[in-house]
Amino acid sequence: MSPPPPWPIGFRALLVRAVLYVLFIGAITQGAYLEALYLPSVRFSEWGFTEFTQTLVLAICCAMLIYIRQVLKVWPNVTLLLLAFLAASLVREQDHFLDTYVADNTWKVLVALIILPTLFWVVKQRQRFFEEFAHYSNTFAFGLFTAGVLTTYIFSRLYGRQEFWQAILEDSYSGTFKSVAEEVVELLGYSLILIATLELLLLARRVYRARQTSY
């Protein structure tokens, strides 16, 4: 018989979280539906529910990762890389506002200022990073984070291609279809990343408590 995981989770807690995650996914789907129904002037635009929720989700993820790294001090190099990735995504989501109210390509400069120093630090600390990643890569949080990244950055882009929807709808095609398909799937992907980050936070709290007990 295989030994239990070093940071166990109770079945009841797992069940409660699963129910809450189902309700959350249902809520964002309903939100997108209500946006389409009652907000025709801004639906699926930078001012709509879907885009705003994407920004909120990314901001919450960044806040949780800062807490994990700075307060719980669990896997600081892995969480730094995750934080840089999501912070860059958060900046990228603001490209319309940055280009409009600051200057063109401002978001690219900000993303570079986030990513390049982080990569430099992770490479410098690569031995510790790989040690931490060996633990993180065997968690549910990592699997869910990977699924979210694939959904957001790969599937949503391919699924939202203009050519794809033109082939399906032919003469009935409208750019709205492309926007809805891409943005809603992207929101789903970000939501998976949010759940993955929450799972990482809960795991980090168990790791933190285990460390405190062992002292």
Residues 147, 201: Cα–Cα separation, whole Å: 18
Q: Are 197 and 65 in contact (CB under 8 A)?
A: yes
Q: Are 11 and 19 in contact (CB under 8 A)?
A: no
210: pLDDT confidence band, cut at 50, 70 and 90? confident
CA distances from 30 to 50, 127, 194 (A): 11, 45, 18
Q: Are 144 and 196 in contact (CB under 8 A)?
A: yes
CA distances from 121 to 65, 114, 117 (A): 17, 11, 6
Answer yes or no: is pLDDT of 8 > 70. Answer: no
Q: Are 115 and 88 in contact (CB under 8 A)?
A: yes
Q: Are 151 and 97 in contact (CB under 8 A)?
A: no
1: pLDDT confidence band, cut at 50, 70 and 90? very low
Each residue's pLDDT tens digit, 59-89: 999 999 999 999 999 999 999 999 999 999 9
pTM score, whole prediction = 0.90
6: pLDDT confidence band, cut at 50, 70 and 90? low
215: pLDDT confidence band, cut at 50, 70 and 90? low
The encoded tokens of residue 201 equal 């936070």
CA distances from 197 to 58, 132, 176, 188 (A): 10, 16, 31, 14
Q: What is the mean pLDDT of residues 33-51?
A: 85
Where exactly are the structural domains of the chain?
Answer: 11-209
pLDDT for the residue numbered 204: 94
Q: What is the mean pLDDT of residues 27-52?
A: 87
| H-state helical runs in the chain | 11-38, 49-67, 76-93, 95-101, 106-124, 126-136, 140-150, 156-159, 162-169, 175-214
* CB half-sphere exposure, 22, CA atoms < 13 A: 6
Q: What is the mean pLDDT of residues 16-37?
A: 93
Name every residue whose Cβ is closer than 8 Å to that of residue 188 and which is 6 or more positions away in sequence: 25, 28, 151
pLDDT for the residue numbered 193: 98
pLDDT for the residue numbered 2: 40
pLDDT for the residue numbered 181: 87
7: pLDDT confidence band, cut at 50, 70 and 90? low
Q: Are 160 and 99 in contact (CB under 8 A)?
A: no
Q: What is the mean pLDDT of residues 115-136?
A: 96
123: pLDDT confidence band, cut at 50, 70 and 90? very high
Answer yes or no: is pLDDT of 195 > 50. Answer: yes
Q: Are 194 and 169 in contact (CB under 8 A)?
A: no
